[in-house]
Amino acid sequence: MPIIWHFVIIINEISNRKFLSMKIFNNQQFKKLHETTGNTVLSFFIPTQRHSTDGYKTDKLHLKNLLSKAESELVKIKGLEEKEAKEHLRPANELLENYDFWKYNAGLLAIYIIDGELEYFRLPLPQTESSYFIGKRPFLLPLIPELNDDGQYYLLLLNLDRIRLYEANRDSIYEIDIDPEEVAVSFTEEESEMENMGNLQAQSNVGEGGAMFHGHGDGSDEEKKVTILNYFHRMTNMLEPLLNQRPLPLFLAGVDYLIPLFQEASKYNALKKGHVSGAFTGEDIKALHKKSWGIAGPYFDENREERVEDFRKKKAMQLALDNDSAKIIKASISGGVDTLFLNTSHRHLWGTFNETNYSLSFDDCPTGHNHCLIDLAAAHVINNGGKVYFLSPDKMPKESQMVATLRYEI
């Protein structure tokens, strides 16, 4: 397996139930969830602690309380017998007894039970409250920030002894374990291997008129820079296809002379200007987080301002919608929305969408058969290649639950 992402994990097998192998959470996985439906689909979202002082009792209590509430609702709104409800929730209840499961927390734990089959994701996203939803399709809004370039970024530490890749946001940073069999993570080790091979070759040629071999480390500074540049070309060719599975802004850290060499070698479109200067190692993760956010934070602030300004310009061109939730939802489902802005304080809009006559119906509350239409709209926007951003009420372009920019006039 080329890469293991600590924060997105789908375990192979628990209690004899089959699961997917470890994968990067990307748009393809999101699309699969978006296109999944079932008779009974439960979605759970739980805040978890990366490090626990109580044996993860707090985290498990969040899930236990949600499961208790969900069991009651399955009986009440889905009309299941109590025994049936318990059986639907059994895969999640089994997690409460699995201590090892809770050792890999990363912020948000998302659990889906789709007609009795369990799937879960760990995402490095801040989550303060637990919640659950019962319906006929997965609830996806909490996962969307992981796909956005709004506050999530990569940090690549250019240490020639060991290249290290991190994903970070304002509140957290996680190292991504790169398989050295798939990505050349150490320039120093490569040089050592080349030198050893050269020495062996030289020894075999001694007495036969062969010349002594000198390692790549010999020579002038300029020659070494060329050697490092060639290494970066090889390394980026291996690493960047993995980054492109879920492209986020990439910032660099390392001693100054390495930065332009990497920039010359890289073809990654989301490589950003500015870097964290210094000779860091993997032990300096806290300092790297603080210094990198000092660069990434202003970048994201500027991007948010540009998006809001873009909304105003498109509004004047009849290419933006506000204060018309039904129209925005329909435009999102049809593929007409390029960017959807959601108020972080928005209220759920429960209802159903009729694909046959392209109509919406709204309900006062969840029924177990309807869905939050804001979630449905956002999922369609992502699935159609658009962007979804969450803004605090004071940052919204308009005083509304949601606004959108359009690909074409409707």
Examine the pLDDT at 364 and tell me if it is beyond 90.
yes
What pLDDT digit, counting tens, does each position of 26-51 carry?
888 999 999 999 999 999 999 998 77
pLDDT at 345: 93
Side by side, which strands form the sheet with 387-391?
A: 320-322, 402-406, 337-343, 387-391
pLDDT tens, position by position, 85-129? 999 999 999 999 998 888 878 789 999 999 999 999 988 888 889
Q: What is the mean pLDDT of residues 60-68?
A: 96
Q: Which residue has the higher pLDDT, 39 or 220?
A: 39
Q: Please report the domains of the chain, with CATH numbers, ordered by start residue.
A: 3-147 (3.30.960.10), 153-303 (3.30.420), 317-406 (3.30.1330.30)
> Are 255 and 232 in contact, with CB atoms under 8 Å apart?
no
Structural tokens at position 280 = 């860091």
Q: Is 138 left (phi over 0), alpha (psi -120 to 50) or beta?
A: beta
Residue range 17-23: average pLDDT?
33
pLDDT in tens, 158-167: 999 999 999 9
* 10 burial via Cβ count (<10 Å: 0-12, 13-18, 19+): middle
Residue 340 has pLDDT above 50, yes or no: yes
Per the prediction, the chain carries an average pLDDT of 87
* pLDDT-derived band at 6, boundaries 50, 70, 90: very low
**Per-residue confidence band for 204, with pLDDT thresholds at 50, 70 and 90:** low
pLDDT tier at 24, thresholds 50, 70, 90: low
Which residue in 217, 227, 223, 23 sits closest to 120, CA to CA?
A: 23
pLDDT at 282: 85
Percent of the chain whose pLDDT exceeds 90: 67
SS3 percent helix, strand, coil of the chain, rounded to 5, is 40, 25, 35
Task: Report pLDDT digits (tens) over 141-186.
Answer: 999 998 887 889 999 999 999 999 999 998 888 888 888 889 999 9
**pLDDT at residue 9 greater than cutoff 50:** no
Give the model's pLDDT for residue 197: 60
